[in-house]
Chain A
C-alpha cells in the first residue's frame, strides 16, 4: 500500500470539505477499497474515512419508505430491516461473510457499483432514491455502467430511500469463492408495477430486465417468465461461467425470486 494522509471527520460537512482538493478518496467500510489499495491498484493522496460519521448510520421505516444511512453496515441492515423490508435484510445478510458484513456499507457498495454486487440490484428494483451531500438522484439515473455512477468527485451517499415494495425477493446464485453474485435477481412488485433488476450477469453492470417486468405485471408467478429468453450478448464470460450460462441463470433466478416474493 502506498502512503496516504488519513482523516476521520465526524460530520458529513467536514467530510465533504476534506474530500475537496486533488486526489482525495472517501473510505466507507473498506472491504473493497483496502484490498484495492493493498494491491496498489489505487493510490489516493488522502483517504477520508466516513466511519465516524454518526449522522450517516441507521435504518428507519416510516410511511412505506425505508431510509438507510449511507454508512450503515450490511450487518446492521440485515438486523434492522428484517421487519420492515425482509427481502433487503436477507440480501444484506448474505453479502460476503460475517466479518465483511461488520464493516462493509450500503453507501460504499452503491458508490463502487461492482457489476457483481448485491445492493445495486435492490436499489434498482425497488426504485430507490440515492441521497447525497448535495442532491437526490433517482436510481434510474444513478448507475452508469461498470464501476461508474452519477456521483461527482467527492460526492458522498448520505442516505438511500427505498419505497418498500408490496412483494419482493432477491435470488442470488453464489460464486462460492468470492461470495459475490454469479447472477443475482431482485424482483419488486408495488402499486407502480413490477421491476426486475439483474446483477452479476452483464458487462455493463446492473440492469433491468424489462421483458420479465412486462410478463410479471400481467401474471406475477414464476411460470410467467418460463418462456422468456435472455440473450447471451453482453453477458459476462469468465472461468466461472460463459455468457450463455449466465443468460440462462437470469431466467432461473428470476423465477426463483418471484417464487420467494
Chain B
C-alpha cells in the first residue's frame, strides 16, 4: 500500500491505495463519490470521465497513484454547495438530455471540458467532442441540444 494525496472538488484528500488501484476506485470506494460511474470497464464508454488538472480523463484508465498531487473534479463538484445545479446540469434537465442517466456524469464532465476550452462550439464540434462518451438511451440529440443551450446557443439547432 502507498499513500496518495490529491485535491478532489476543492478538498484535500488522502488515502492508502495499492499500485493497481484505479482513480475511479479511489473516488468511489475510497471517498464515497459514487457519482462517477463505471460503465464498460474497458475505457470505451466515458461514464467515468472526470477532470484531472483541468483535462478530461477516463478515471478507469488512470492509476490512483498517477493522480498523486492532482486537482480532480467529479460530477459531485459541479453543483453549488447549496445544491443549485450548474447551468450545464440545468440544461441537461431542461432538455431531457438523459433517460436512464447512467452515462450522464461522464457526459456532463466531457461537455464541461469542451465548454471550458471552446465556450461557443458548433453542433458538429459538440458531436465530435462526445465521441468517447456512449449513451444507449437518448440517441444523443437532446444531449447535444442541452450543451448548445448551455453555451448560449439554444436556437442554433432548434429547427432540427
Contacts and interface: CB of A to CB of B under 8 A. Distances in A.
Given A34-B63, A35-B61, A103-B62, A6 B19 contact: yes
B41 A38 contact: yes
Given A8-B66, A49-B65, A34 B43 contact: yes
Interface residues of A, number: 28
B16 interface: no
A170 B110 CA distance: 26
B62 A8 contact: no
Interface residues of B, number: 29
B19 A8 contact: no
Given A1-B20, A3-B19, A38-B41, A98 B113 contact: yes
A21 to B, nearest CB: 16
Interface string A70-81: 000001000000
Interface stretch (B29-37, B51-59, B75-83, B91-99): B51-59
Contacts of B133: 97
Interface of A: 1-6, 8, 27, 30-31, 34-35, 37-39, 47, 49, 51, 75, 96-100, 102-103, 177, 179
Given A8-B66, A38-B41, A98-B114, 6 more contacts: A6-B2, A31-B61, A49-B65, A100-B43, A103-B58, A103-B61
Interface of B: 2, 18-20, 22, 41-44, 46, 49, 52, 55-58, 61-63, 65-66, 68, 110, 113-114, 129, 131-133
The 6 lowest CB-CB distance pairs between A and B, nearest first, are A97-B132, A6-B19, A102-B55, A99-B56, A1-B20, A99-B58
